[in-house]
Amino acid sequence: MLTNMKQEILNAKKNKQAIPQFNINNLEWTKFILEECQKENCPVILGVSESAIEYMGGYNTVVNLVKGLIKDLKITIPVSIHLDHGSSLESCIKAITAGFTSIMLDKSKEILEINIKETEQLIEKAHPNILVEAEIGPIGTTINNSKYTNFEDCKELVKTKIDLLAPAIGNKHGIYEGQAELDYNLLEKINKLDIPLVLHGASGLSKEDIKKCIELGIVKINYNTDLQLAWAEAVKKYINKNKEEYDPRKIIKSGEIALKTVIKEKINQLR
């Protein structure tokens, strides 16, 4: 069932649980993710970056692919199609027109005034049916030598009536070098703004970190790298063992079990 996930996010917040966002790259990944989430009876947000959209053929292709799989695989769990790190209003509008149910506009690298202004413009086009996520602070980088968001900026951005806020709390995309340094005091403070919070860059974080984040108001958790690492390792092993194989279906599918295993593990940490 395609949904914007609003109700599920509010329920998760009430029950101190989180909903996973798993990023998709192609038909097979989308199918494997939907199958595993259905098996686990877990609502899922399919995150699609602009580069993945381009890779897959375009905004309409992504929406029709997901709708087709939901129908053919008889998927009954709530599923949302989410533009991940939308870079411009233009891209967000293309996603809305194609049928995405949830949009992230990432203006975190701009000054606060621009982030607020463009987020407000998006909300005008998206609400009430489509969810809007905004990012604040330097996720995976630094602003004024800090890798943490400014609390006052969060307060201002939340006034735009966004549905979800993704703050920089020491999280980063990709592989963490050493131990992640998440600022739980900052997260606790931001949580008092009473807005559903998103954790980007969840790959590589410990079970304990994830648990603590959920306790402190994180309701949407984004995973990509850990899925890619597990899938790629399994496929490389398969190719090494089956040097003569040339059927792309067998090669791509050889990462299925590894991918589904990580998905299951992640889901079990969220509830």
Kindly list the residues in this chain that would bind ligand G3H in the complex (CB under 6 A). Answer: 23, 47, 84-85, 173-174, 200-203, 222-226
Q: Interacting stretch for Zn ion, rule CB under 5 A, among 34-42, 65-73, 112-120, 199-207?
A: 199-207
Q: Taking the complex as a whole, how short is the minimal distance between the CB of residue 174 and Zn ion, in angstroms?
A: 10
Cβ atoms within 10 Å of 239's Cβ, excluding its own: 12
Q: Taking the complex as a whole, how short is the minimal distance between the CB of residue 52 and ligand G3H, in angstroms?
A: 10
Nearer to Zn ion, 135 or 183 (CB): 135
Q: Taking the complex as a whole, how short is the minimal distance between the CB of residue 85 and ligand G3H, in angstroms?
A: 6
Distance CA 267, CA 247 (A): 31
Question: Would you state the structure tokens that stand for residue 40, as one six-digit string?
Answer: 């686990």
Q: Please, which of residues 56-115 interact with Zn ion by CB under 5 A?
A: none
Integer CA distances (angstroms), 267 to 19, 172, 243, in order? 8, 20, 34
Residue with tokens 């593990």: 265
User: Could you confirm whether 247 is annotated as catalytic?
Assistant: no
Distance CA 147, CA 82 (A): 25
The backbone region for 104, taken as left when phi is positive above 0, alpha when psi lies in -120 to 50, beta otherwise, is: beta
CA-wise closest residue to 140 among 175, 99, 178: 175
Q: Taking the complex as a whole, how short is the minimal distance between the CB of residue 49 and ligand G3H, in angstroms?
A: 7
Q: Taking the complex as a whole, how short is the minimal distance between the CB of residue 180 and ligand G3H, in angstroms?
A: 10
Question: Would you state the structure tokens that stand for residue 49, as one six-digit string?
Answer: 């970056």
Q: Interacting stretch for Zn ion, rule CB under 5 A, among 67-75, 146-154, 200-208, 225-233?
A: 200-208
Taking residues 111 to 150 in sequence order and writing x for each that binds Zn ion by CB under 5 A, - otherwise, the string is ----------------------------------------
Q: Interacting stretch for Zn ion, rule CB under 5 A, among 12-20, 95-103, 194-202, 234-242?
A: 194-202
The one-letter code for the residue type at 58 is: G
Which residue from 107, 147, 200, 266 is in contact with Zn ion, where contact means CB under 5 A?
A: 200
Q: Interacting stretch for Zn ion, rule CB under 5 A, among 4-12, 72-80, 154-162, 196-204?
A: 196-204
Q: What is the DSSP string of 123-160?
A: HHHHTTTSEEEEEES-TTS-BTTB-B--HHHHHHHHTT
Question: Would you state the structure tokens that stand for residue 54, as one six-digit string?
Answer: 């381009």
Question: Would you state the structure tokens that stand for residue 216, as one six-digit string?
Answer: 């402190």
Contact 148, 183 (CB under 8 A): yes
Q: Which of 84, 106, 163, 209 is catalytic?
A: 84
Nearer to ligand G3H, 223 or 231 (CB): 223
Q: What residues act catalytically? A: 84
Q: Given the rule CB under 5 A, which residues bind Zn ion? A: 200
